[in-house]
Amino acid sequence: MGLSSMLFTLAFLLSGAASLASQAYFNDVADLPCQFTNPQNISLGELVVFWQNQEMLVLYERYLGKDKLDNIDLKYLGRTSFDQDSWTLRLHNIQIKDKGSYQCFVHHKKPKGLVSIHQMTTDLSVLANFSQPEIVQLSNVTENSYINMTCSSVQGYPEPKKMYFLLKTENSTTGYDAIMQTSQDNVTELYNVSISLSISLPAVTSNMTIFCVLQTELMETQLFSSPFHIDPENQPLPDPPSPSTWFAIALVPLVIAPVIISQSLRKLKKKRKPGASYERETIKVEERKVSSMREE
């Protein structure tokens, strides 16, 4: 478990005191290292070792070789384990509230009293991975080729940077920004985020895929939703009935009936065929085609 909590030795010196940075996942274990090398090989039986948080509340104390519970704050009872070999305190069941700085102290018990021989500060940050963003379709493609959808991702920390939709067609990728709605749980302090958008679909009849992307603050990671397919065959983008559409529909039976096919019609069919996906043509162009066909 301790492996998943990462540890960086930032080794920066702030007002003369060395400080470490540690990172842990929500509900996981945090490492709070003391980095005591014990150069004089002093026995634990002569040492007083303890960790405290920034409010001076004690997490753990090893007093002359024995665990001492008297000074430990209630919220840390039963949540710690001390690794003697690495001089690291493990704090279990990490919550967002646990982020902050911690100090480890090592004192040598001498006849005259306690002598401080080592001190280390660790700054702990806490993360929670957001769930994979999930797209929910709120409406079918409407008459105006609009589709309404929301995307949500839950139980993450810290607050992410942004969330957006990506619409991919055969040839293009378009990003759609939206205002991110954020809610934070009072108890866990985890965030839920969502966006809603009414997307105007481009006038293509090829398949389209929509992704939702969550950009988290840390390490610039991007979380992608599963692809959301819009298949125009099952969900036709209803072109407003215009002369051009009616012409295209009327042309099909003519082409299929072999007796009626004329050379010029064949040419015309070839022209139209590559448009398994075609952009809407203007009515004027279509009308000219009709008239030239009739002239032939």
Ligand X SMILES: *[C@@H]1O[C@H](CO)[C@@H](O)[C@H](O)[C@H]1NC(C)=O
Residues that bind ligand X (CB under 6 A): 4, 25, 41, 43, 129, 137-140, 142, 146, 148, 154, 169-171, 183, 185, 192, 198, 204, 206-207, 229, 231, 276-277
Closer residue to ligand X, CB minimum distance, 58 or 272:
272
Q: What is the DSSP string of 19-30?
A: EEEEEEETTS-E
In whole angstroms, the minimum distance from the beta carbon of 223 to ligand X comes to: 8
In whole angstroms, the minimum distance from the beta carbon of 134 to ligand X comes to: 10
In whole angstroms, the minimum distance from the beta carbon of 219 to ligand X comes to: 8
Closer residue to ligand X, CB minimum distance, 18 or 108:
108
In whole angstroms, the minimum distance from the beta carbon of 91 to ligand X comes to: 16
In whole angstroms, how far apart are CA 78 and each of 36, 51, 67, 276, 277?
A: 24, 14, 12, 67, 65
Closer residue to ligand X, CB minimum distance, 1 or 252:
1
Q: What is the DSSP string of 55-85?
A: T--EEEEEETTEE--TTB-GGGTTSEEEETT
In whole angstroms, the minimum distance from the beta carbon of 213 to ligand X comes to: 14
Closer residue to ligand X, CB minimum distance, 4 or 116:
4
Tokens of 111: 């006849």
In whole angstroms, the minimum distance from the beta carbon of 174 to ligand X comes to: 12
3-state secondary structure of 250: helix
In whole angstroms, the minimum distance from the beta carbon of 99 to ligand X comes to: 16
Closer residue to ligand X, CB minimum distance, 35 or 131:
131
Pick from 146, 131, 211, 227: nearest CA to 176:
211
Own/partner long-range contacts of 243-246 (Cβ < 8 Å, ≥24 apart): 243/283, 243/286, 243/287, 244/280, 244/281, 244/282, 244/283, 244/286
Closer residue to ligand X, CB minimum distance, 159 or 170:
170
Own/partner long-range contacts of 269-277 (Cβ < 8 Å, ≥24 apart): 272/248, 276/205, 276/206, 277/170, 277/204, 277/205, 277/206
Closer residue to ligand X, CB minimum distance, 25 or 63:
25
Closer residue to ligand X, CB minimum distance, 5 or 53:
5
Which amino acid appears at position 171 of this protein? N
Q: Is 134 within 8 Å of 121 (Cβ atoms)?
A: no
b/e burial code for range 197-219 (CB count within 10 A of at least 16 → b): bebebeebbeebebbbbbebeee
In whole angstroms, the minimum distance from the beta carbon of 58 to ligand X comes to: 27
Rounded Cα distance between 145 and 198, Å, is 10
